[in-house]
Each structure stands twice: as structure tokens, then as C-alpha cells.
Amino acid sequence: MKLYARFILAAVILAAAGLAANAQISIQAGASVSHQKMTQHDPYDRDDRGGIGAYAGVDYDIHIIKGFHITPGLYYNFTHARHYQLGRYNLDERQADHQINIPVYLKYSFNLKPNKLDLYLYAGPVLSVGMASELAAHIDVSGFTYNLYIDNYSGAIRKLTLTNYNINEEREQALIDDFQPELDNRGITQRYIDLQIDGGIGFRFKDHWELRFGYTFGVFDRFNRAYGDTHDLKMTQYYVGFGYRF
């Protein structure tokens, strides 16, 4: 946790320096294509999930020397990823994540046309802090479809229903009590914290409007507890964003 604390402290210091230096603040928003790669160690196997997400937030340029800036930011990030598997039972998994991302970029900009067009490159670390993460698993077994909604951080089943079959709260709780020990034994939980590396290219039009393209990959394995000893889960995403810099 010392690494995370130092990263947050550095971001706060940069924020204070940026405000004091009248940094150029921008509002940013965009769409992303997320990818989750889950790898089983032995025997080797791999399952991928993918989906569409979105983000929005603010950042600001702190000028260092000609062309170079440090750009910290604060973003809300939503990702959605789906995996479908056929076998002795059909499995449809959909994971939704809500995160607060704190990037600190090093940026270098080129002036292509004075007061009309700038090109910039940026890269840097991102501290991603999870707010909520849910896995919706739909499992077809013996003509029944079980719908499980699982909190990925605690591993607890939030809700369980059967498609085309009404069950009361007592029966629902009985089914949860049957499924929960199996999930607990497997230890399928995920971490709140991820350290990511982000980079990309952007264009600034008429000194204010921005268009950027970027790629982010997670450094940490998201699984923890027992499941993390036999499986890895890495998160990546491509994104395109628009912004306005004041």
C-alpha cells in the first residue's frame, strides 16, 4: 500500500502545483473498447472478454519547458466485458466495472500550424481504484437458466434468479446458500487497485478543442486469494476521446 499512498501524494502535490501555476485545465470524455484476458496456469487455458465502455473527467497541463508538460488528471471510467462459453452447460458472463482513475502523464506537444493545430504525445502511469465491480453470470443447466449477480470484490452473490421460473425470497436465499460455498472455496475475487500504463497521441485544434487516441494496459493481476494462485486476469483498453482545454 505504500506505493499507492506515494502515488496519490504525488498526484496531490502536482495538483497543487498546477493550480498555483494557472495550469490549462481541460474537460475530457470518450468511449473505449475494453479487453480482459484470463489465463489459467496449469493446464494452460485462456478466456477473453471484451466490450464497450466510457470515461469522463478532467486534467490539466503543468508546463515544464518548451513543449513538455506534466498532466495529472482525475477520471471516472466504466468498462463492460462479455464472455460466452458452450459445453456441458452454457455460460454467459458479463463484467461491469466502475473505477476512479488518477493518471500522471508526461506530454510533449508539437506546433504544426500556429493557433490552428498542435500534435502531442503522452504516456504515464495510472492508479485505478475500483468503486464497484459486478459479474452477471447466466448458466444454462438441465433446462434451467440460473442468473447470478456477484460482487467481484467480496465474492458474495448479490442476487440469484431463475429464468421463466418465479421463486420467492426464501427459495432464492436457499439457492444462494447452495452456490456461495462453492464460490468461497474457489476464492474468485478481484482487487480494488490496479496500476496501469497509459499512452497515446492527441490533436489540439484552435488552441482549445482536442481529439485523442490511446491504449491502456494493466500491470497487476486482478485476481487475489486462492484463485489468483492458478489464474491471471489482466485488463487493457483502447479509447478515443474528445475534450476542451480552457
Between CA 162 and CA 148 the distance in angstroms is 9
How would residue 240 be classed by pLDDT, with cut points 50, 70 and 90? Answer: very high
Between CA 110 and CA 118 the distance in angstroms is 6
Amino acid at 127: L
Q: What is the pLDDT of residue 187?
A: 75
> Could you tell me the three cell numbers for 133?
465491480
Q: What is the pLDDT of residue 66?
A: 86
Residue 131: is its pLDDT beyond 90?
yes
Neighbours of 27 (CB within 10 A): 14
Whether the predicted model's global pTM rises above the 0.85 cut:
no
Neighbours of 174 (CB within 10 A): 12
Average the pLDDT over 199-224 and give the result: 93
Q: Comparing C-alpha atoms, which of 101, 99, 78 is closest to residue 31?
A: 78
What are the structural domain ranges in the chain? 2-245
Cα–Cα–Cα angle for 117, 119, 123, nearest 5°? 150
Average the pLDDT over 13-37 and give the result: 76
CATH class of 2-245: mainly beta
